[in-house]
Structure 1
Amino acid sequence: MAVYSMTGYASAQHSPGTSPASHDGGKTATGARLGLEIRSVNSRFLDLSFRLGEELRAHEPALRELIAGRVKRGKVEVRAGVEGTGAEIAREPSMATLQRLAAVQDTVKTWMPTAADLSVAEVLRLAASEGDTSIDWGESLQQIATNALEDLVAAREREGARLAKMLLGHLQQLRALAEQARPLVPQLVEQQRQKFLERWKEAMALGEGSATPEAAQDRALTEATAFAIRIDVAEELTRLAAHLDEIERLVKKGGEIGKRLDFLIQELHREANTLGSKSATLELTKISVDMKVLIEQMREQVQNIE
């Protein structure tokens, strides 16, 4: 199953030559163009918004159902409208339309004597608009919405594949950093153990035998053990490796994995923070910082995955 991004764009339209006939007694939609655009960006949930022309608003529920069937997460904005062409505007209005416009103009001028008369361009525009409202765009709108939705899903899949590839690359880098960190702690513990023993030997010499050598050595070893426990990051590295394995499994599995990946990224960040807080060497601190940089980059990518 593929990994899908929540970012994408698609558009579709019916050109005048391919627009279907309406059901208003032989009039056709030729001369008008129906266009639709779909944009999507990341969001925690599915958030649909529509900007439809007046003649298309009745079809919003059908569009909502269509999109919700294919898209599960993301802020999705749909714009659709009908645009007239020069050929449509030049079409001669019917006598009934002209009579209605004249009657409306007379009524307006009765109450507003100073109102300007309708121009020829205004009459043609109003007549064209009246004609468009009689066209049933439902079938055409559903068809171009389906086409645009297919393109949107394909675009989100392509972007998702790119994000998945980047995530897998970051996982490799994090594993390499973890391998660099693993041998540092035993080396540091042994170095610190030797330092504790040397300091206690010096203290014994200054104390002129106030404590037995065995007691001094035991105390030094106890301090060294406490230090080793305090800086031990084996558990953090084990958990980090488990999280990396689970992220890789999810990315290769695909599907709706965005929310689970987001949770795992938070866990990775927690382990990297703990690794840094337990650091007793500059080298381990640098590894922790490099890990957090990679994890933050992964967080930004994961926020775009459905």
Structure 2
Amino acid sequence: MIKSMTGFGRSEYTDGKRNIIVEIKSVNHRYCDVTIKMPRRYSFVEERLKAIVKNIARRGKIDVSIMVENITENDTTVKLNALMAKQYYDNLNELKNDFKVAGEITLQFLATLPDVMKTVPHLEDEEELLKSLSIPVEEAAKRLNEMRVIEGKKLSEDIEKRGDSIREMVKGIEVRSPEVTVAYTEKLRDRIKELVGNNVTIPEDRILLEAAIFADKCSVTEEVVRLDSHIQQLKSILSKSNQPDGKKLDFLVQEMNREANTIGSKANDIQITNVVLDIKSEIEKIREQVQNIE
């Protein structure tokens, strides 16, 4: 099954303590690059969440956003740093005495000083938290995968259609190729007559030998056969794929382009050259589509 590397998935989940929203976006990339953005206090489960995503999406630049809203009031504790408060108090009193400043050092003022009162999050149960985060991450990854499958089907249909178009053009080249040699033979006879006139008899076998040399030099049979084979292989991968085959398809398209270039350089015929240009245009469109395949 061919899959696109572009997609989006979203999921929401609540475990009674926290509401969790997960969004996953993916775009083209040579490898599987997963980035997770979530509150730092939960970073200890990041690698395990990445593994869930990579198990479903094996290639692409994948950005995972995890938003957590605590819905209970007992997830943090306010702690007093009495030693810090005493140091502030002693130092402020020393300043009062040194500079003869009037005024009281109040409890309200001390409580506002940095690090005297701190809110400290409760220690999380790692396995419980992993379970709560894994559920929406896996659900969002599945929805991402569903979109990638739908997009992949569209890509596959477009590529197959273009592949069929190329095969039809290749058949036209197969028909035209022998005609090029025949036309060259006639041009050769006419050229010789122009040069020496009708008084000199030119051996037919000599003309046929020159035509045979030309035909061998301009033969594109091997390239046509290989190009057709590449197209069939392309369609086979699209219909039978059960793993990420984007890189394999990309290599195959490069080979198709190379065969088309060789046909164009050897054909020595304007009609075939024009067909080759059309083939190369279709191959380039296939290449662009293949860049999106996982």
Would the TM-score normalized by the shorter structure come out above 0.5?
yes
Change over 3 Å in CA distance of 1:160–1:92 after alignment to 2: closer
Kindly state the Cα deviation for residue 258 of structure 1 after the two structures are TM-superposed.
1.5
Could you tell me which residue of structure 1 aligns to residue 9 of structure 2?
10
Is 1:289 paired with 2:277?
A: yes
SS for the counterpart of 2:57 is coil
Could you tell me which residue of structure 2 aligns to residue 75 of structure 1?
61
Q: Which runs of 4+ in 1 moved over 6 A?
A: 116-119
Select which of 197, 221, 224 maps to 1:234.
221
CA distance in 2, matches of 1:180, 1:43: 37
CA distance in 1, matches of 2:91, 2:233: 74
CA distance in 2, matches of 1:52, 1:225: 72
CA distance in 2, matches of 1:93, 1:13: 20
Could you tell me which residue of structure 1 aligns to residue 159 of structure 2?
167
Paired residues for 1:120-139 under 5 Å: 127=119, 130-131=120-121, 134=124, 137-139=129-131
CA distance in 1, matches of 2:66, 2:214: 67
Deviations 1:96-117 (A, max 9, x none): x45x25758837956997xx87
Structure-1-length-normalised TM-score: 0.78
Kindly state the Cα deviation for residue 179 of structure 1 after the two structures are TM-superposed.
1.8
Over the aligned positions, Cα root-mean-square deviation in angstroms equals 3.1
Could you tell me which residue of structure 1 aligns to residue 29 of structure 2?
43
CA distance in 2, matches of 1:133, 1:279: 74
**Alignment coverage as a number of residue pairs:** 274
CA distance in 2, matches of 1:150, 1:303: 22
SS for the counterpart of 2:9 is strand
Deviations 1:18-55 (A, max 9, x none): 423xxxxxxxx2xx432222222222222222222112
CA distance in 2, matches of 1:75, 1:108: 51
Could you tell me which residue of structure 1 aligns to residue 230 of structure 2?
243
Structure-2-length-normalised TM-score: 0.81
Whichever residue aligns with residue 219 of structure 1, its letter is: R
Tell me if structure 2 keeps the 8 A contact 1:204–1:213. no
Paired residues for 1:203-222 under 5 Å: 203-205=195-197, 209=200, 213-214=202-203, 217-222=204-209
Deviations 1:62-85 (A, max 9, x none): 212222322222222222132357
Deviates more, 1:4-13 or 1:262-271: 4-13
Query: Gaps (5+ residues) in structure 2?
Result: 93-108
CA distance in 1, matches of 2:268, 2:75: 86
Tell me if structure 2 keeps the 8 A contact 1:105–1:118. no
Tell me if structure 1 keeps the 8 A contact 2:75–2:122. no
Select which of 168, 175, 181 maps to 1:176.
168
Tell me if structure 2 keeps the 8 A contact 1:200–1:220. no
Select which of 261, 265, 272 maps to 1:277.
265
Change over 3 Å in CA distance of 1:304–1:93 after alignment to 2: closer
Deviations 1:220-270 (A, max 9, x none): 322222222222222211111111111111111022222221111011101
CA distance in 1, matches of 2:7, 2:122: 31
